[in-house]
Structure 1
Amino acid sequence: MSLNWVCYTLLALALIASFFFTHSLWMGLLFITLLTFLLYGADKLAARKGWRRVPETTLLVFGLVGGWIGAFFGQQLFRHKTQKQPFRTWFMLSVAVNIVAVAGAGYWMYGRWIL
């Protein structure tokens, strides 16, 4: 079983679970943030133990779809992916894209800017 398959299945389950709450957009972002935080911790543990790692593209996708807050705290707490410059550049770009997307989704859902 591929590690990516597990990560993306968990992402899909988090998004599905968010639809059972009143504010599904915010709950989805909360679930993805927590999941991304846990992925950074698991990847750091895998790096230390020599186990199979979470691919950088998967970490970036999770940040892009809304988990960038969890990614930021995971990077700081676990001291993970803080020095690798190409990754940091792509990460910051994914943060900017996500903020624009969330603001647009909020405008579309609520008829006003939410940020």
Structure 2
Amino acid sequence: MNLNRFCYFLLALAAAGSLFTPHPWVMWLLLVNMLTVVVYGGDKMAARKAWRRVPEITLLMFGLVGGWPGAIAGQQLFRHKTQKQPFKAYFIVSVILNISVLLAIYQLYPFSSFFTS
């Protein structure tokens, strides 16, 4: 199984696992952020050892689905993807897009019913 598919498999596993908790949205955000930090660390290790890397689109996708706080933590913790200008611009766009979607959902649905369903 290649690394990219494995990352998406872990993301799907986190989504499925969060559905079986009392607060699925909170658990999803916790799991996706922890997983994002791990993926950034794994990609940094792969970069240092000249192994197969995680594609940038996958790193951006983890941020887009709610893992951007974990991505910021992973970038700072591992000093990874902090200087590459095209990636930084796309990352900022993905963060803005994620926040916009969350704000739209918040406006459409009451906060209490959204996070406690």
TM, length-normalised to structure 1: 0.91
What is the CA–CA distance in structure 1 between the aligned matches of 2:91 and 2:79, rounded to whole Å? 15
**Does residue 1:23 correspond to 2:23, yes or no?**
yes
Letter aligned with residue 83 of structure 1: Q
**Does residue 1:55 correspond to 2:55, yes or no?**
yes
Structure 1 residues 24 and 105: alpha-carbon distance in aligned structure 2, compared to 1, 3 A threshold: farther
Letter aligned with residue 24 of structure 1: P
Partner of 1:104: 104
What is the CA–CA distance in structure 2 between the aligned matches of 1:14 and 1:3, rounded to whole Å? 17
Deviations 1:28-76 (A, max 9, x none): 1111010001000000000001111000000000100011000000000
For structure 1, the 5+ residue unaligned runs are none
Partner of 1:45: 45
Partner of 2:4: 4
What is the CA–CA distance in structure 2 between the aligned matches of 1:66 and 1:112, rounded to whole Å? 17
**Does residue 1:65 correspond to 2:93, yes or no?**
no
Structure 1 residues 38 and 66: alpha-carbon distance in aligned structure 2, compared to 1, 3 A threshold: same
Q: Relative contact order (C-alpha < 8 Å, sep 6+): which is higher?
A: 2
What is the CA–CA distance in structure 2 between the aligned matches of 1:90 and 1:50, rounded to whole Å? 24
Cα RMSD, aligned residues only: 1.7
Aligned residue-pair number: 113
Letter aligned with residue 88 of structure 2: R
What is the CA–CA distance in structure 1 between the aligned matches of 2:74 and 2:26, rounded to whole Å? 20
What is the CA–CA distance in structure 2 between the aligned matches of 1:75 and 1:108, rounded to whole Å? 33
1:57-96 equivalences under 5 Å are 57-96=57-96
